[in-house]
Amino acid sequence: MPKSRIRKKADYTPPQAKQTTNIKLTSRGWVAPVMLAMFLIGLAWIVLFYVTDGSLPVDALDNWNIVVGFGFIAAGFGVSTQWK
């Protein structure tokens, strides 16, 4: 039975360097100020509600003022997803 030929392995050739492409990020300078404003408005809303024993900022909402404050904070987190 004939012997099989032994194949010589090719020398190591490193992979070609990938060409870098510049990623063009659009300017979103409005995101950080809006995000911080939403956080601060929500915090101020909740603090004002507790400091005034529920009479401010909107007396008719009663304890729903807390939900409104957390809504502003949640909106701030929503805006923060646009930050690049």
The reported pLDDT for the residue numbered 56 is: 86
pLDDT at position 32 is 93
- Packing angle, helices 31-51 and 64-80, rounded to 10: 160
Q: pLDDT in tens for each of the 84 residues of the chain? A: 777 777 777 778 888 887 777 767 677 889 999 999 999 999 999 999 999 998 888 889 999 999 999 999 999 999 999 987
| CA atoms of 54 and 50, how far apart (whole Å) | 6
pTM: 0.68
pLDDT of residue 5: 75
Count of C-beta atoms within a 10 Å radius of residue 72: 18
Contacting residues for 57 by C-beta, under 8 A, at least 6 apart: 45, 48, 49, 65
